[in-house]
Amino acid sequence: QLDSTFYDNTCPNLYRIVDRVIWSAMLSDARIGASLLRLHFLDCFVNGCDASLLLDDSSSIQSEKNAGPNVDARGFDVVDTIKTTLEDACPGVVSCADILALAAHTSVVLAGGPSWNVLLGRRDSTTANQAGANTLIPSPFEGLTNITAKFSAVGLNTNDLVALSGAHTFGRAQCRTFSNRLFNFSGTGNPDQTLASSYLAALRQRCPQNGSGSTLANLDFTSPNNFDNNYFSNLQNNQGLLQSDQELFSTTGAATIAIVNNFANNRAAFFHSFAVSMTNMGNISPLTGSSGEIRSDCKKVNGS
Ligand code: HEM
Ligand SMILES: [Ca+2]
């Protein structure tokens, strides 16, 4: 029951405002679009797309921001800037959950990716689910079977999994999220066999043993800031960064392989599927009608 025209009368400048804030943040931070897209994903997988992710710790809230998968998420300051600008233009109208959906869309478009009709009308939660964030969000170290199950738990299928993983066409990951592949993979004493040797050498240089786990690497080394389909040709070349990326192509017999090949060969097919799957993800159990509230500060429940 979400609707792309939801704010047409109540906040006609919505898109202009969101676009302007993100565009201006990009001038000093090429990574910000990727970070904002990731926030929408981290939100939607826990209690649906309800901005539960954005609530800070308080006497009644155990923040999802402090859950393992979320501790290094970034872009919250830009979400706050969008919110305060919108509160000036159309007070009390636009939900924080919809801001995350809109920011994800604008970020993809500004990086050269597809556009789609963003469905709107979500409302904001009054609770957070830190334990849920620790268990429901896929980890880069778990196998394809587990990750597929976590997508399925929120109503997303294998096509959605491969298409949405294509978000790793831009942005960065810290060494600690993939260094398990570089030296002693799963106790073998050898690196992950599905890592191309030249790429392995480059990653070992960037993330040496005993180096800092927080050093950043590009998720797509061929075009780190562009939203394109190189992510999928990287997988074909054994140049996926995360274990969970490479498994989409390297798991024997997996249904994901044919989808990776299709997206690698056909950018339009990837863009179309990505748009469809973003809509699917954005539809995960939204609060609508009189459920939840429109927060006036994305970090706090109203009246607290
Ligand atoms: C399939 C399961 C997924 C796993 C295991 C996964 C895991 C990760 C990890 C470990 C990072 C690096 C985090 C860090 O080092 O701080 C990352 C970054 C990122 N993820 Fe995912 N992710 C998944 C799905 C998704 C989805 C569905 C989206 C969005 C549609 C997404 C968008 C991003 C983006 C854009 C970044 C870069 C963020 C930045 O540069 O700030 N990921 N992901
Ligand atoms: Ca949520």
Q: Atom of ligand 1 at shortest distance to CA of 35?
A: 41
Q: Is 116 in the pocket of ligand 1 (CB under 6 A)?
A: no
In whole angstroms, what is the distance from residue 179 CA to residue 193 CA? Answer: 14
Among 100, 168, 219, 243, say which to mutate for ligand 1: greatest number of ligand atoms within 8 Å of CB. 168
Task: Give the model's pLDDT for residue 102.
Answer: 99
Q: Which ipTM was obtained for this model?
A: 0.98
Identify the nearest ligand to the CA of 227 by its number. Answer: 1
Query: Which tokens belong to 25?
Result: 């943040």
- Radius of gyration, alpha carbons of the chain: 19
Strand partners, 124: 293
Answer positive or negative: Cα dihedral of 50, 23, 29, 223.
positive
Q: Is 31 in the pocket of ligand 1 (CB under 6 A)?
A: yes
Could you report the per-residue pLDDT of 108-117, keeping only the tens digit for each? 999 999 999 9
Q: Which amino acid is at 153?
A: A
173 HSE (CA, 13 A, CB side) = 22
In whole angstroms, what is the distance from residue 50 CA to residue 62 CA? Answer: 16
Q: Are 164 and 156 in contact (CB under 8 A)?
A: yes
Could you report the per-residue pLDDT of 6-56, keeping only the tens digit for each? 999 999 999 999 999 999 999 999 999 999 999 999 999 999 999 999 999
Q: From ligand 1's centre to the CA of 303, what distance in Å? A: 33
Task: Decide: pTM greater than 0.90.
Answer: yes
Q: Is 275 in the pocket of ligand 1 (CB under 6 A)?
A: no
Q: Is 38 in the pocket of ligand 1 (CB under 6 A)?
A: yes
Q: Are 228 and 239 in contact (CB under 8 A)?
A: no
